[in-house]
Amino acid sequence: MPIKVLVAKPGLDGHDRGAKIVARALRDAGMEVVYTGLHQTPEMIVNAAVQEDVDVVGVSILSGAHMTIFPKVMQLLAEQGVDDICVVGGGVIQEDDIPKLKALGVREVFNAEASTQDLIDGIERIVAEYGRDRTRRAAVQTSAP
Q: Which residues bind other proteins (CB under 8 A)?
A: 1-2, 23-24, 26-37, 40, 43-44, 47-48, 50-53, 80-82, 134, 137-138, 141, 144-145
Nearer to other proteins, 5 or 126 (CB): 5
Counted residue by residue, the chain has a size of: 145
Cβ(132)–Cβ(140) under 8 Å? no
Nearer to other proteins, 52 or 97 (CB): 52
Which helix (H) or strand (E) covers residue 145, if one does?
A: none
Beta bridge partners of 60: 90
Nearer to other proteins, 102 or 137 (CB): 137
- Closest distance to other proteins from the beta carbon of 80 (Å): 7
